[in-house]
Amino acid sequence: MIYFDNSATTKMFPEAVQSYQTVSEQYFGNPSSLHELGDVSSKLLKQARASIAQQLGVQPEEIFFTSGGTEGDNWIIKGTAFKKQYYGKHIITTRIEHSAVNHAMDFLEDLGFEITYLPVNKAGQVDLAELREALRSDTILVSMIALNNEVGVIQDLEAIGEILREYPTVHFHIDAVQTVGKMDLKLGPESRIDMAVFSSHKFHGPRGCGFVYVKRGKDVTPLIHGGGQEMNQRSGTENLPAIVAMAKAFRLVKESEQATQHQLKQLTDRLKQGLHQYEQITVFTPEEASAVHIVCFGIKGVRGEVVVHALEEHDIYVSTTSACSSKSGGTSGTLSAMGFAPQVAETAVRISLTGSNTMAEVEQFLDVLDELYQNFDVIHSK
């Protein structure tokens, strides 16, 4: 089996699985309980928080555990809106966001907030001049995906941050779900990024777990109320086994980050080289400012799901674009925003790699794709 759908979810590290099992079996006390079992669990929770914070170069009290990326994005966007609505109701985002962000924006629009959707250029990046023009005195939040999950476009966060330094009261939130191990992300007191959202299952941790970075001094209204866990910001008994396993996976990925990025760059370069040989294949992932692990392409006249299922018959697993919206039909919102026609966008297929993928797998994929390409009737009818 060749698994090339790592932007949808990754296989858990064996070490993370072991951590999950050990904590489940031996540290089952509620971290909020006053007895010794609760105290031990509480210490594990603190250790996990401190480990993640150390890897990111931030403070432990700036890390909050959640159920994953969707909750994190919803919390930061809605929580900022509710907290700052008396100062303004204007929010800026882009046309290439994850559905968690898009639907949160729709929700806020129904409540009377005004959302500005910045367009992107053919390379998938926002125009900095348009961002500057969109900022207003009543703007309270700028929300952007740092690394696009469909085509791998990376936004120029430092340049965006420099613009936002002139607007210190505007919260700057990034969806950082795809970034771990794939790009260098600068957080902390010197960074203009105020909030960043992460999801465990994107970096070989368990599903249903994630964390959010909230810079000290930035207030966000809680969405989940109850027992006051997570420093009164996200109530509910903590999923300790998943949190500890996530912290383990995060540390392992960060420790090998530079070597993995180099490896992935070699693999995606070879994939692009192979794909560019075909007249009827379009590579949607831009050459510049793109991720080291994502290659999005399409075969002219062949819908993406046809290619996905054809590859699956050869035990090769890829996806169309975003796994979260692939079953809902329609074309890629990112490709449409980049200017591709609907009949072109509907051909999109996404390959997404991780550190365990190999050059041998890439070569096997290219061999299988060549066989399929030659046999697609639509190719020969052109």
Task: Considering only CA atoms, give the Rg of the chain.
Answer: 21
Q: How far apart are CA 18 and CA 12, in angstroms?
A: 10
Mean of the pLDDT values across residues 358-366?
98
Mean of the pLDDT values across residues 214-243?
95
Closest to 37 in 3D by CA, of 184, 221, 224, 240:
240
Residues in the chain: 382
Residue 267 has pLDDT above 80, yes or no: yes
The pLDDT of residue 159 is 97
* Neighbouring C-beta atoms of residue 91, cutoff 10 Å: 27
- Residue 274 located in a structural domain: yes
- Residue 217 located in a structural domain: yes
Mean of the pLDDT values across residues 17-41?
92
Torsion angle (degrees, nearest 10) of CA 53, 220, 95, 196: 0
- Residue 77 located in a structural domain: yes
Residue 323 binned pLDDT confidence (cut-offs 50, 70, 90): low
Asked whether the beta carbons of 275 and 295 are under 8 A apart, the reply is yes
Q: Are residues 118 and 224 in the same domain?
A: yes
Q: Are residues 131 and 83 in the same domain?
A: yes
- Residue 381 located in a structural domain: no
Q: Are residues 186 and 41 in the same domain?
A: yes
Q: Are residues 301 and 250 in the same domain?
A: no
Last residue of a domain, one of 222, 255, 288: 255
- Residue 161 located in a structural domain: yes
- Residue 308 located in a structural domain: yes
Find the catalytic residue in 324, 325, 356, 364.
324
Q: Are residues 224 and 358 in the same domain?
A: no
Closest to 101 in 3D by CA, of 75, 125, 121, 126:
75
Torsion angle (degrees, nearest 10) of CA 359, 364, 369, 375: 160
What does the pLDDT look like over 148-193, one tens digit per residue? 999 999 999 999 999 999 999 999 999 999 999 999 999 999 999 9
CATH number at residue 153: 3.40.640.10
Asked whether the beta carbons of 105 and 81 are under 8 A apart, the reply is no
The pLDDT of residue 108 is 98
Confidence (pTM): 0.94
Last residue of a domain, one of 217, 239, 255: 255
DSSP annotation of 302 reads S
Residue 340 has pLDDT above 60, yes or no: yes
Q: Are residues 249 and 262 in the same domain?
A: no
For 243, the domain range is: 14-255
Tokens of 262: 């180099």
- Residue 185 located in a structural domain: yes
Q: How far apart are CA 77 and CA 178, in angstroms?
A: 18
Asked whether the beta carbons of 10 and 17 are under 8 A apart, the reply is no
DSSP annotation of 200 reads G
Residue 145 has pLDDT above 60, yes or no: yes
Respond yes or no: is residue 209 known to be catalytic: no
- Residue 382 located in a structural domain: no
Q: Are residues 227 and 370 in the same domain?
A: no
Q: Are residues 170 and 226 in the same domain?
A: yes
Domain total in the chain: 2
Q: How far apart are CA 151 and CA 276, in angstroms?
A: 16
Last residue of a domain, one of 226, 255, 284: 255
Q: Are residues 165 and 268 in the same domain?
A: no
CATH number at residue 305: 3.90.1150.10
Q: Are residues 267 and 236 in the same domain?
A: no
What does the pLDDT look like over 57-115, one tens digit per residue? 999 999 999 999 999 999 999 999 999 999 999 999 999 999 999 999 999 999 999 99
Tokens of 45: 């929770």
Q: How far apart are CA 129 and CA 27, in angstroms?
A: 53
Residue 331 binned pLDDT confidence (cut-offs 50, 70, 90): low
Q: Are residues 238 and 274 in the same domain?
A: no
Q: Are residues 91 and 228 in the same domain?
A: yes
The pLDDT of residue 248 is 98
Asked whether the beta carbons of 337 and 120 are under 8 A apart, the reply is yes
